[in-house]
Amino acid sequence: MAEFNDLLIEIGTEELPPTALRSLRDAFTRGVTGGLDEAGIGFDGARSFASPRRLAILVEGLVDRQPDQTEERKGPAVTAAFDADGNPTKAAEGFARSCGVAVADLATESTKKGEWLMYRGTREGAATVALLPDIIQAALDALPIPKRMRWGAGSATFVRPVHWSVALYGDDVVPMTLLETRAGRHTRGHRFHAPDAIELANAGEYARRLEQDGWVIADLDERRARIEEHARAAAKELGGNILADDALLDEVAALVEWPVVMVGGFDERFLDVPAEALISSMQGHQKYFPILDGGGKLLPRFVMVANLESRDPREVVRGNERVIRPRLADAEFFWQQDRRRSLADRVDDLHNIVFQDKLGTLHDKQRRVAALARTIAPAFGADPDLSERAAMLGKCDLVTEMVDEFPELQGTMGRYYAAHDGEDDAVAAAMEEQYQPRFAGDVTPAGAVGQVLAVADRADTLTGIFAIGQGPTGDKDPFALRRAGLGLVRILIERERALSLQELLGKAAAQLPTELRGEEHVDTVRAFCLERLKRYYQDQGIGAELFDAVDALGIDDPVDFHRRLQACSEFLHMEEADSLASANKRVRNILRKLDGSPPETVDSGLLQMTEERQLADLLEPLMVEVDDLSSRGDYRSALQRLASVRDPVDAFFDGVMVMADDDAVRRNRLALLARLNTLFGRVADLSRLPTT
């Protein structure tokens, strides 16, 4: 009868890279559990651990051996296995010997190519501890480590030097060597609080012993939750709350093994500097959590997380305050220095920054964007002069000292500097809005000038990079064109700016250097943008068939495309949708088989059957009504009206023979189907809609 025990594997290292710790932990867990699954070794569950100095996994309820393995092997053909007298040949004897049985114990199997000797047997499952070394090593080899390192005189490679390893199955050490380190039962605690080795009696006591005796909270998620809880509590005592995103919490939790939350402060004079600059300095350089008051205003306080219990916490706080002061002073200096020159005075400095060798400098790019922005501004209800002005100033903050120090503040500092220079409010807002949306789920620009600049900048980048033949390939997208393409269409859709993609991209291509022949790439860029939009909708649960149904009409305005798609998505929930989609497919198939085109008009005198007369009488007025609704963009109502033809269409196909013997009658019925097909295609190609 199988026995069960917990398995603990721990790799002890020098400090692991904090931003990669979570992915390393997860990959290690997947590798170990995946290897066990592949080997057929059952277990109840697995718990992951990770800290700056360790990766570990506790596999709970791991069975002590594999189940017996069924083995099947194919041997030589029967014709080669026996001679004319029926005696086994050397081929048969050798195959039987390799299987550990006599020739007489082998079976035969008939196939299309003849009969073959077969061995079928059962092999006893291996002990789990015998399989573990290979499983663990395979998991370590598969970790996502971009650049492995060696240490000492050994040949093992890992993300950081390895100092110890633990391998326990229940109470027993599993004999194995991991990364040239002999596994045992001794782990290590906190580097300062518990530097001596900690002997583990069994795998199950790992987390408890580390916290109790080693001053280490081994569970990354538990440390993260504790840090957030204590940090928010400390900020609440000051009447505020911490500013903390998931990435910062993850990184701080990956930097400490025994988190101790403390509160520090800085001189209030620094609050004259834009809060974003102070926050970037605190978060980026020092991994502090800034504190905001109830109104979202930055307070001159911050939460820091130490990695030990100090005998003099106040001294630790003072030390961190001494460290952050020059950082904030630098930001203050940059703020003061940058404002001595206006953004307009920095336009010529863009000549010194190369955007791309074949596309020129950043000044060349902004000149193209400015010309495009002026042209498309009316479509956004934006002032052409302000749009052009915003485009020429749009990248000038890149040559300021603040953005040079804090690149993540591009656009944000442009907004501050433009406001300081007395630029129009719309221009100042556009400095920041041009980068929106920065990431999936981010907002799109609220201001009209910001929308113009964001669209024009992306259109120039897309057409330019495709024109020089450096569009995305596979996973490589160095110019972030996928994000740019989706951002462009999202802005148009979410801000309801009706604009032809073909026209927009054509105007952008016309600004490129003549020798690049940008106009030849407009169709490719348009298709690329629509493909990004297709993926975007798929992420929202809208299937490819639905997208293709609208795309089949060649709709070039993303806003119009979106409205049609939403209407079709709702239409699918109507009971008539299936029937009409099937009918449209049937109509298409019939018309597709014709050698020529059917008549353009239906001759009412040739309508013989009641069903075809009823359909014809309904069709013409309905087409006028659907056309009117579609021209007003009311696609939901148009599809609801289309639903009314379901019964007449079903009756037509049930009672009318389209391919009648009489040529005139047949062609007239085909003309009726052609009109019906035109009606079906007013909102989307209904024949492409998914059916159940």
C-alpha angle 533-545-630 in degrees, rounded to nearest 5: 75
**How far is 230 from 223, CA to CA, in rounded Å?**
11
pLDDT in tens, 228-250: 999 999 999 999 999 988 999 99
Mean pLDDT on 404-420 = 97
Closest among 461, 211, 446 to 360, alpha carbons compared: 461
Domains in the chain: boundaries: 4-66+127-213, 70-122, 220-338, 344-541, 565-688
**Tokens at 391, concatenated:** 């485009």
Give the CB-side neighbour count of residue 406, counting CA atoms within 13 A: 26
Mean pLDDT on 444-461 = 98
pLDDT at 584 (0 to 100): 81
**How far is 429 from 612, CA to CA, in rounded Å?**
61
Q: Which CATH superfamily is domain 4-66+127-213 in?
A: ACT domain (3.30.70.260)
pLDDT in tens, 621-641: 888 898 899 999 999 998 888
pLDDT at 286 (0 to 100): 92
pLDDT at 195 (0 to 100): 93
**Tokens at 492, concatenated:** 């148009």
Top-confidence range, 123-132, 145-154, 418-427, 434-443:
418-427
pLDDT in tens, 498-523: 999 999 999 999 999 999 999 999 99
Query: What is the residue type of 570?
Result: E
Residue 163 in this model has a pLDDT that exceeds 90: yes
Residue 617 in this model has a pLDDT that exceeds 90: no
Q: Is the dihedral of CA 582, 584, 586, 592 positive or negative?
A: negative
With a CB cutoff of 8 Å and minimum separation 6, the contacts of 315 are none
- In the block, which residue shows the tokens 């620009």? 445
Please, what is the end-to-end C-alpha distance for the chain in angstroms? 50
**How far is 160 from 195, CA to CA, in rounded Å?**
19
Mean pLDDT on 4-8 = 95
C-alpha angle 606-609-615 in degrees, rounded to nearest 5: 90
Residue 1 in this model has a pLDDT that exceeds 60: no
Mean pLDDT on 112-125 = 81
Mean pLDDT on 309-314 = 94
How many Å is the Cα radius of gyration of the chain?
Answer: 35
Residue 455 in this model has a pLDDT that exceeds 60: yes
pLDDT in tens, 28-62: 999 999 999 999 999 999 999 999 999 999 999 99
Assign 533 a pLDDT band (cuts: 50, 70, 90). Answer: very high
Mean residue pLDDT of the chain comes to 92
Greater confidence (533 vs 69) lies with 533
pLDDT in tens, 191-237: 999 999 999 999 999 999 999 999 999 999 999 999 999 999 999 99
Give the CB-side neighbour count of residue 216, counting CA atoms within 13 A: 30
pLDDT in tens, 459-481: 999 999 999 999 998 888 999 99
pLDDT at 73 (0 to 100): 86
Specify the CATH number of the domain 344-541: 1.10.3210
pLDDT in tens, 569-615: 988 888 788 878 888 888 787 887 777 777 778 877 788 888 888 88
Residue by residue, DSSP assigns 412-469 as HHHHHHHHHTT--HHHHHHHHHTT-S-STTPPPP-SHHHHHHHHHHHHHHHHHHHHTT
Q: Is the dihedral of CA 652, 654, 656, 660 positive or negative?
A: positive
pLDDT at 206 (0 to 100): 98
pLDDT at 500 (0 to 100): 95
CATH topology of domain 565-688: Isoleucyl-tRNA Synthetase; Domain 1 (1.10.730)
Mean pLDDT on 124-131 = 88
* Cβ-count burial 109-120 (b if 16+ within 10 Å, e if not): eeeeeeebbebe
pLDDT at 12 (0 to 100): 97
| Phi/psi of residue 472, nearest 5 degrees | -60, 140
**How far is 92 from 82, CA to CA, in rounded Å?**
7
